[in-house]
Amino acid sequence: MDQSVGEYNLLAMVDDVEGIIFYAKEKNFSVGILNGLESIHDTIVELEPLVQTAAHQKRIKADLEKIIQELKETCKKGEEMAALGKLRTLRDRANALKVILERMK
């Protein structure tokens, strides 16, 4: 796998989560949501060294990309409760991927 492609896709996801954090702050979301978003950001950053194959990258994209975009739109609209549900889903998926990829290492 071209490592730069994997890094680029994860970097784009990290950038999206940083944008989500910006929207959440702008809409005065609770501290708990902001902390959760920071945690997700850190988890996605931690995925980068675990990506070894194109299959890993496809799995990350399939599991995270759509929910990140949905969370971004929800935060833009200021829908805090909907964002909380999506945040939990994203957190669970990102953590599960991290565990799976760590075991494959």
**Residue (of 74, 68, 76) closest to 23 by Cα position:** 76
- Number of domains making up the chain: 1
SS3 for 2? coil
State CA 50 to chain mean position distance.
15
**Residue (of 97, 76, 91, 61) closest to 21 by Cα position:** 76
**Full-prediction pTM beyond 0.85?**
yes
What's the pLDDT tens digit per position in 33-47? 999 999 999 999 999
pLDDT over threshold 60, residue 54: yes
Where in the sequence is the domain holding 55, given as residue range(s)?
A: 3-104
Q: Amino acid identity, residue 3? A: Q
**Residue (of 63, 74, 65) closest to 33 by Cα position:** 74
Cα dihedral 55, 57, 59, 61 in deg (nearest 10): -150
